[in-house]
A and B are shown apart, each in its own frame.
Chain A
Amino acid sequence: MSEARAVITGLGIVAPNGIGAPTFWGNTRKGLNGIRKIDRFDVSKYATQVAGVVEGFEATDYIDKRLMVQTDNWTWMALAGAKLAMEDAAFDAASHEPDRMSVVTASSSGGNEFGQREIQSLWAKGPRFVGAYQSIAWFYAATTGQLSIKHGMKGACGVVVSEQAGGLDALALARRQIRRGEADAVLSGGTEAPVGPYAITCQEHNCLMAEGDDPDAAYRPFGTEAHGYVPGEGGAILLVEGLDQARARGAEQVYAEIIGHAATQDGNSHTAPAADGHYYGRALQLALDDAGIGPDDVDVVFADGFGTPESDAAEVAALQAVFGSRASSVPVTAPKSMVGRLYAGGSSLDVATAALAITDGYIPPTINVGSPAFDLDLVTEGRAQPMDTVLVGARGIGGFNSAMVLRRVTE
């Protein structure tokens, strides 16, 4: 019996440089920077003063006020993303068997702002001032739970946490359910909302973020002036379906098939990725093995692009281990240079971006690189180029490595 094929049929994007796939893609093609000076609180005490900030997001456009007060803005963005993804796919959840649909999201830091507000109330005023919704809004499972309830998706629902690698790992679980015939449709991916006073405080202490207040000079992956990453908010929720089921219901479009995935651990770090890139390279190679293809079949690499000199060098070493001499000629891009690192939302957004790139035949650029530090074909100006197969890499702080292979679906 052949396994079902897992394909991406809907994209729900809430990103610093655009909400909704058409707007996001138009801006991403152009290299529009979504990193801005943080203005929602006083950042003068912080070394990092910029972030990828979603502008113009009105949660009430997507969800009712009653649900809004029960949820953190991380979940708002996921609820919006799910709505956009299902609209994009013309998928009507209400007309599908609840047991054949599920939700698997990634999260890395949960409901930061909601949690800060309630802890503030507790310590400033006392336990009786903690609201009834803290118990369901802050924890990492809140988004999956709300999506499952809102859309009546009752299959095997899950939540994966592996820092920035989480989005790929969640999508891999979605693919597993589709391949094994356990579900016909899975909402997957993730969002993150780490741009508040306390969340940024926590992130500053990892000592891996770029200092400064210039949005165009902060996050410079693979450049000689790389000096750290910039955090951001948002992400992507994707609708993953079985190919046969998608065709049977007359799906609008099939962006790409998920044909491979693998994850590894450095096993030696609670902070930055391992300097040798060895186990990251192994994840990339195992993902290609899982897909049953070789490195020569890869048309474009969507890099992790951590943005510190050591971690960028480690990624180049990983690419060289996998691609050999072709490492300097396979096109590599890191469109997250336009939005920052969105943690669980970041690798989810990378998969959505890669799906759009395959569909459009266009490689989005890596911006603000300045002078390149490595011998790569780093795409710094958007490039029209047909492609069939894309390798997406992701690393999470704490030694997580993950990789996913996407391929254009042909008859």
Chain B
Amino acid sequence: MRRTVVTGVGVVAPGGVTRDSFWATITAGKTATRRITLFDPSEFRSQIAAEADFDPIAAGLTVQDVRRMDRYIQFAAAAASEAMGESGLDLENIDHERMAVSMGSAVGGTTALEDEYVVVSNHGEEWEVDPEYAMPFVYQALVPSSLASELSMRFQTHGPAAVISTGCTSGIDGIGFGHQLIQDGRADIVISGAADSPISPISMACFDAIKATSARNDDPAHASRPFDRDRDGFVMGEGSAVLILEELEHAQARGADIYCEVLGYASRGNGYHMTGLRPDGLEMSESIVDAMNQGKVNPEDIGYINAHGSGTKQNDRHETAAFKRALGDVAYNIPISSIKSMIGHSLGAIGSLEMAACALTIRHGVVPPTANWENPDPECDLDYTPNTAREAKVNVALSVGSGFGGFQSAMVFGRVKEATK
């Protein structure tokens, strides 16, 4: 059985646009949520988001890259370069035919598509738009596969490449598909992760319409409140994390500094409702158990759970039920946190940022907190690591995702144990 390890992490996130600043933000319990500056939000129900203060040129992109790539791809390109740099892989001396790309994104190039639409439709006046006014790279905005193409071009990868677009579980599923490519022997190195930049009028408006986002506009810093009694919805975010996945022996042979191993990955559809969740958390618990079984992990082994913790009423209840169902009473003893409390919910990207957080937690022995947790909710009665990070040796970390369409995914990372031969 081929085993997958993580050998590099790169991040673009709100509150800090490198891996180190991301880690500093989330372990300090600092919130990066604020009034939206990317456009004028005053007509919207939810006027707040966690924005990344990202300068693509400073991050090493060229002006032509910036023209060609929508914002979410720029994030991914920067994160991938950071991750590749940290991995120590020598691009001149590796087999590019054994390199793959597996990236998640929930909404792809929506931002660029909307910007172009405003022009070609003359501010929404014309249904029969004028094609002449669109910019040359609008096709690359239409198809989210551009995310995989661009990373493949950037690192000249010639193995399989794809975008996995399963809504809000895209991040876990993108890394999961990469893990499967290594397991199946189709690649030795996978540039995996996810990216989204959904802080645009249409994305904000569509969540306004179903009141899924927080309307705590007068207090943005305290608006994302996972597991708190007074939570009122998620706060939109943006960003990207890229993890370099590598086959274990390939990484060991070159003396790579290994973060952790992908011990298990599973996903389920709830077959129930596009936005509703069954209160018992059954399908999420099945994903968790499946992922744990793949890695022969027991509930007692888990030192940290990175929750989906979106901060909607139903999600946090559903998830708490799923943890109890999957882990039994042990669930009460495991530190859990939602980093969405600090960096918002960046739809498909967040799963990759959460897996990056798990890798960093295992390496640094610090569990990031859930910020803004003030008031207990009787239906959410586990240990959510309120407000302050904790030092803890974590050998195994679990992360979960849940999204529109009924997708429920789980992934388990663990410190590498030598194979018992």
The interface size bin for chain B is: 35 or more
Residue from B43, B132, B405 within 8 A of A136 (CB atoms): B405
Residue from A98, A126, A202 within 8 A of B113 (CB atoms): A202
Interface flags for A99-125 (1: CB within 8 Å of B; 0: not) read 100110001111000011011111111
A118 to chain B, nearest CB (A): 7
Report the nearest A residue to B149, measured CB to CB: A398
Residue from B45, B121, B150 within 8 A of A120 (CB atoms): B121
> B312 on the interface (CB 8 Å rule)?
no
> A307 on the interface (CB 8 Å rule)?
no
A268 to chain B, nearest CB (A): 6
> B9 on the interface (CB 8 Å rule)?
no
Q: Which of A46-62 contact B (CB under 8 A)?
A: 46
A125 to chain B, nearest CB (A): 8
Residue from A121, A155, A162, A202 within 8 A of B268 (CB atoms): A155
Interface flags for A392-409 (1: CB within 8 Å of B; 0: not) read 000011111000000000
> A160 on the interface (CB 8 Å rule)?
yes
| Also in contact, A269 and B269, with CB within 8 A (given A144-B166, A144-B405) | no
| Also in contact, A120 and B202, with CB within 8 A (given A154-B283, A205-B134) | no
Residue from B45, B164, B201, B207 within 8 A of A161 (CB atoms): B164
> B327 on the interface (CB 8 Å rule)?
no
The answer to whether A109 and B142 have CB atoms under 8 Å apart is yes
Q: State which of B225-233, B271-279, B316-324, B379-387 sits at the interface with chain A.
A: B271-279
| Also in contact, A70 and B274, with CB within 8 A (given A127-B43, A159-B165) | yes
Query: Once bound together, how far apart are the Cα atoms of A161 and B177, in whole Å?
Result: 12
Question: Which residue of B100, B159, B286 has the most chain A CB atoms within 10 A of its CB atom?
Answer: B159
Query: Once bound together, how far apart are the Cα atoms of A262 and B273, in whole Å?
Result: 34
The answer to whether A140 and B137 have CB atoms under 8 Å apart is no
The answer to whether A169 and B162 have CB atoms under 8 Å apart is yes
Report the nearest A residue to B100, measured CB to CB: A265
> A263 on the interface (CB 8 Å rule)?
yes
| Also in contact, A267 and B180, with CB within 8 A (given A140-B108, A205-B137) | no
| Also in contact, A103 and B269, with CB within 8 A (given A265-B159, A267-B152) | yes
Q: Which of B170-189 contact A (CB under 8 A)?
A: 170, 173, 177, 180, 184, 186
| Also in contact, A141 and B403, with CB within 8 A (given A135-B207, A269-B149) | yes
> B161 on the interface (CB 8 Å rule)?
yes
> A341 on the interface (CB 8 Å rule)?
no
Q: Which of A235-267 contact B (CB under 8 A)?
A: 262-267
> B210 on the interface (CB 8 Å rule)?
yes
> B215 on the interface (CB 8 Å rule)?
no
> B145 on the interface (CB 8 Å rule)?
yes
Contacts of B45 in A (CB 8 A): 127
> A36 on the interface (CB 8 Å rule)?
no
| Also in contact, A166 and B145, with CB within 8 A (given A120-B121, A139-B167) | yes
Contacts of B143 in A (CB 8 A): 108-109, 161, 163, 343, 397-398
> B163 on the interface (CB 8 Å rule)?
yes
Contacts of A109 in B (CB 8 A): 142-143
The answer to whether B152 and A399 have CB atoms under 8 Å apart is yes
Q: Which of B106-140 contact A (CB under 8 A)?
A: 106-108, 113-114, 116-118, 120-121, 123-125, 127-132, 134-140
B309 to chain A, nearest CB (A): 20
The answer to whether A154 and B96 have CB atoms under 8 Å apart is no
The answer to whether A135 and B137 have CB atoms under 8 Å apart is no
Interface flags for A200-241 (1: CB within 8 Å of B; 0: not) read 111111100000000000000000000000000000000000
The answer to whether A398 and B113 have CB atoms under 8 Å apart is no
> A5 on the interface (CB 8 Å rule)?
no
Contacts of A160 in B (CB 8 A): 162-165
Query: Once bound together, how far apart are the Cα atoms of A120 and B101, in whole Å?
Result: 34
The answer to whether A269 and B206 have CB atoms under 8 Å apart is no
Contacts of A115 in B (CB 8 A): 113, 202
Interface flags for B91-111 (1: CB within 8 Å of A; 0: not) read 000001100110000111000
> A69 on the interface (CB 8 Å rule)?
no
Residue from A128, A149, A204 within 8 A of B271 (CB atoms): A149
The answer to whether B404 and A135 have CB atoms under 8 Å apart is yes
Contacts of A262 in B (CB 8 A): 160, 186
Contacts of A122 in B (CB 8 A): 124, 201-202, 205
Query: Once bound together, how far apart are the Cα atoms of A141 and B134, in whole Å?
Result: 26
The answer to whether A156 and B266 have CB atoms under 8 Å apart is yes
> B315 on the interface (CB 8 Å rule)?
no
| Also in contact, A148 and B405, with CB within 8 A (given A46-B131, A134-B202, A159-B166) | yes
> B86 on the interface (CB 8 Å rule)?
no
Contacts of B106 in A (CB 8 A): 139-141
The answer to whether A148 and B153 have CB atoms under 8 Å apart is no
Contacts of A110 in B (CB 8 A): 108
Query: Once bound together, how far apart are the Cα atoms of A124 and B201, in whole Å?
Result: 13
| Also in contact, A142 and B139, with CB within 8 A (given A134-B209, A161-B162) | no
Query: Once bound together, how far apart are the Cα atoms of A116 and B144, in whole Å?
Result: 17
Question: Which residue of A127, A145, A151, A265 has the most chain B CB atoms within 10 A of its CB atom?
Answer: A265
Query: Once bound together, how far apart are the Cα atoms of A343 and B148, in whole Å?
Result: 16
The answer to whether A135 and B206 have CB atoms under 8 Å apart is yes
| Also in contact, A267 and B273, with CB within 8 A (given A108-B145, A130-B202) | no
The answer to whether B268 and A156 have CB atoms under 8 Å apart is yes
> A296 on the interface (CB 8 Å rule)?
no
Interface flags for A258-294 (1: CB within 8 Å of B; 0: not) read 0000111111111100000001001000000000000
> B338 on the interface (CB 8 Å rule)?
no
Contacts of B146 in A (CB 8 A): 270, 398
Residue from B132, B139, B270, B274 within 8 A of A154 (CB atoms): B270
Given contacts A118-B206, A149-B406, 18 further A-B contacts (CB under 8 A): A98-B271, A119-B117, A127-B44, A135-B275, A136-B275, A139-B165, A149-B270, A149-B271, A157-B406, A158-B267, A161-B144, A161-B148, A198-B117, A263-B161, A265-B149, A265-B157, A267-B153, A398-B148
7 contacting pairs across A/B (C-beta < 8 A): A135-B212, A176-B184, A201-B131, A202-B139, A265-B149, A398-B140, A400-B145
Q: Which residues of A contact B (CB under 8 A)?
A: 41-42, 45-46, 70, 98-99, 102-103, 107-110, 115-116, 118-128, 130-132, 134-136, 138-142, 144-146, 148-149, 151-163, 166, 169, 173, 176, 197-206, 262-271, 279, 282, 343, 396-400
Q: Which residues of B contact A (CB under 8 A)?
A: 43-45, 68, 96-97, 100-101, 106-108, 113-114, 116-118, 120-121, 123-125, 127-132, 134-146, 148-150, 152-153, 155-167, 170, 173, 177, 180, 184, 186, 201-202, 204-210, 212, 266-275, 283, 286, 403-407
